[in-house]
Amino acid sequence: MSTDRTPGIDRIVVVGNGIAGQTACDSLRTAGFDGELTVVGDESVPAYSRPALSKALLTDGGSHELAAPAHGATELLGVAAVGLDVDARRVRLDDGTDLPFDGLVVATGARPRPLGNGALVLRTLDDALLLRERLTARPSVAVVGAGPLGMEVASAAAQAGCEVTVVADTAPMLPQFGPYLAELFTGAATAAGVKIVSGTAIGLDAGTVTLDAGTRVTAELVVAAIGDIPNVEWLHDSGLLTGGRLIADSRGRVAPGIVAAGDVAHLPIRGIVRRIPLWNSAIEQARVAAVALLRGDDAPEFDTDPYFWTEQFGLHLKAIGRLPVDGDPTFLLGNDTADDPHGPALLHWRHPDGAGVAVAINHRIPIPRLRRAAATGQLPGTVTASG
Q: Are 342 and 362 in contact (CB under 8 A)?
A: yes
Is 274 contained in some domain? Answer: yes
Q: Are 199 and 217 in contact (CB under 8 A)?
A: no
pLDDT digit string (tens) for 36-90?
999 999 999 888 888 888 887 887 766 676 666 778 899 999 999 999 999 999 9
Q: Which residues of 27-37 are buried (b: 16+ CB within 10 A; e: fewer)?
A: bbbebebeebb
Neighbours of 174 (CB within 10 A): 18
Same domain, 95 and 234: yes
DSSP single-letter state for residue 87: T
Same domain, 318 and 371: yes
Pick from 224, 256, 285: which residue ends a domain? 224
Ramachandran quadrant class, 16 (left: phi over 0; alpha: psi -120 to 50; beta: rest): left
Closest CA to 168 of 158, 378, 153: 153
Cα 41-44-45 angle, rounded to 5 deg: 95
Mean pLDDT of 249-277: 94
Query: Is the pLDDT reported for residue 264 higher than 80?
Result: yes
Q: What is the pLDDT of residue 373?
A: 97
Is 255 contained in some domain? Answer: yes
Pick from 207, 224, 241: which residue ends a domain? 224
Same domain, 129 and 196: yes
Amino acid identity, residue 316?
Answer: H
Q: Are 222 and 120 in contact (CB under 8 A)?
A: yes
pLDDT band at 8 (very low <50, low <70, confident <90, very high): confident
Q: Which domain holds residue 163?
A: 125-224
Is 384 contained in some domain? Answer: no
Same domain, 88 and 156: no
Q: What is the pLDDT of residue 386?
A: 46
Mean pLDDT of 5-34: 91
Same domain, 320 and 290: no
Same domain, 106 and 236: yes
| CA pair distance 315, 173, nearest whole angstrom | 14
Query: Is the pLDDT reported for residue 383 higher than 50?
Result: no
Same domain, 145 and 219: yes
The proportion of the chain whose per-residue pLDDT surpasses 70, expressed as a percent, equals 93
Same domain, 198 and 71: no
Same domain, 257 and 318: no
pTM summary value: 0.91
Same domain, 103 and 129: no
Number of domains in the chain: 3
Query: Is the pLDDT reported for residue 384 higher than 60?
Result: no
Query: Is the pLDDT reported for residue 228 higher than 90?
Result: yes
Is 1 contained in some domain? Answer: no
Q: Are 336 and 320 in contact (CB under 8 A)?
A: no
Mean pLDDT of 217-229: 97
pLDDT digit string (tens) for 151-194?
999 999 999 999 999 999 999 999 999 999 999 999 999 999 99
